[in-house]
């Protein structure tokens, strides 16, 4: 039996890791490939803010789930202290006594292999499969391999397949800048964004791609308009432009759902609806949309609340909440009497625009013979009080 083993911190696991396993499988033709995330890597400390071992295990499962013959193992997560490869080899040898074991390693690992804990024991038990991160490293890999062979009689197979140049350190930095999705398996990126691991912020293209599928086709133009209106208002009034964009993209994510589906979502997310909301299904999507945006995309609290209040408003609204409420009202596809006045006012005096918008909303609801939501009434009173105090 041939057993291929790939260990590391996988912080996070990316397409470079996947490519390395594919290349090694092609070269070794193993019967089984084990990917083993380290609980506490012995050779370098995990960067502050890194996910814990269980999260990295989950990310690894997602990264390699589509590769045939691969099993992601939690073997090293059950140990106390650092995850020494020599201990892993001992456990594998006990479980697979007749196996020919191959260990996949990168350039840095190969060059420092003589510094590993019990490295001579490891070399006596396994064949190293060495891979470079980029073509320029191939000479370094071969030189390091030749040195280990000469000094310790190591068995080493150097992969010459084309590598994917990528470092996890660079990727973690990219994720904070809404970049890097193209270097990650889709399932890994989805989980990172949902949990906001590595302080990651989703790319706006990703948010649009994932959220537009929930919209009726005719609503896409409105959501696009709301996003860009929110950006402009945020720039004008000094709010977080990126948070405004996120809220604009996601604010109507559950808008198309009928009452039965809104109630199912309310139950799923533990949302309690009042009688006014139950009589007007249009009011429910702000609450369920906020909850779904948090669930699927891990939006921060400020964005979640901006989505939550974009329909009724409420007392003591934050600046971002006001911006999303107003962007939804005045984005370019909106056409109703008074919209041009409201648009102009939104960039001159946001508080006055909120008062006018809330008044118009209350008048519209009452014209339908419906009961306005108490939060809208309270919001208008609060803004009017604020304006009066500053007069």
The pLDDT of residue 83 = 76
The pLDDT of residue 84 = 87
- Distance separating alpha carbons of residues 256 and 83, to the nearest angstrom: 50
| Tens of pLDDT, residues 296-350 | 999 999 999 999 999 999 999 999 999 999 999 999 999 999 999 999 999 999 9
Q: Name the residue among 354, 189, 328, 331 with its Cα closest to residue 250.
A: 328
- Kindly give the parts of the chain with pLDDT less than 50: none
Q: From its phi and psi, is residue 22 left (phi > 0), alpha (psi between -120 and 50) or beta? A: alpha
User: What angle separates helix 186-195 from helix 53-64, to the nearest 10 degrees?
Assistant: 150
Backbone φ and ψ for 71, nearest 5 degrees, come out as -125, 130
Q: Which domains does the chain have, with CATH numbers?
A: 2-186 (3.40.50.620), 202-375 (1.10.3210.10)
Burial class of 361 by CB neighbour count within 10 A (0 to 12, 13 to 18, 19+)? buried
The pLDDT of residue 51 = 93
The pLDDT of residue 391 = 57
The pLDDT of residue 163 = 64
DSSP letters along 22-84, please?
A: HHHHHHH--SEEEEEE-SS-SSSPPPTT---HHHHHHHHHHHHTTSTTEEE--GGGGSSS---
pTM for this entry? 0.91
The pLDDT of residue 339 = 95
The pLDDT of residue 292 = 98
């Amino acid at each position: 039996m041939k057993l291929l083993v790939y260990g590391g911190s996988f912080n996070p696991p990316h397409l470079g890791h996947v490519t390395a396993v594919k290349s090694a499988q092609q070269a070794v033709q193993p019967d089984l490939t084990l990917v083993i995330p380290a609980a506490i890597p012995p050779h370098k400390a995990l960067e502050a803010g890194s996910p814990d071992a269980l999260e990295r295990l989950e990310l690894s499962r997602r990264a390699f789930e589509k590769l045939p013959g691969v099993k992601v193992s939690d073997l090293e997560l059950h140990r106390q202290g650092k995850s020494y490869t020599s201990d892993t080899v001992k456990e594998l040898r006990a479980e697979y006594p007749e196996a020919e074991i191959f260990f996949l390693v990168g350039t840095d690992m190969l060059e420092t292999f003589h510094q590993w804990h019990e490295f001579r024991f490891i070399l006596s038990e396994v064949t190293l499969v060495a891979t470079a991160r980029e073509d320029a490293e191939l000479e370094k890999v071969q030189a390091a391999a030749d040195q280990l062979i000469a000094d310790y009689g190591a068995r080493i197979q150097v992969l010459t397949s084309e590598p994917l140049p990528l470092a996890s350190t660079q990727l973690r930095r990219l994720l904070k800048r809404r970049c890097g999705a193209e270097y990650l398996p889709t399932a890994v990126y989805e989980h990172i964004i949902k949990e906001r691991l590595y302080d990651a912020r989703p790319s706006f293209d990703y948010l649009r791609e994932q959220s537009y599928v929930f919209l009726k086709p005719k609503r896409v133009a409105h959501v696009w308009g709301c996003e860009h209106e929110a950006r402009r208002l945020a720039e004008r009034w000094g709010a977080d432009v990126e948070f405004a964009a996120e809220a604009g993209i996601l604010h109507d994510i559950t808008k198309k759902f009928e009452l039965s589906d809104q109630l199912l979502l309310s139950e799923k997310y533990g949302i309690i609806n009042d009688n006014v909301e139950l009589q007007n299904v249009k009011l429910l999507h702000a609450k369920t949309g906020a909850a779904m945006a948090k669930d699927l995309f891990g939006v921060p609290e400020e964005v979640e609340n901006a989505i939550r209040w974009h329909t009724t408003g409420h007392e003591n609204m934050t600046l971002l909440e006001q911006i999303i409420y107003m962007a939804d009202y005045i984005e370019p596809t909106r056409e109703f009497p008074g919209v041009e006045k409201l648009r102009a006012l939104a960039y001159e005096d946001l508080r006055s625009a909120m008062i006018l918008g809330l008044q118009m909303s209350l008048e519209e609801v009452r014209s339908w013979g419906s009961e306005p939501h108490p939060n809208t009434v309270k919001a208008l009173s609060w803004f009017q009080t604020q304006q009066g105090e500053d007069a």
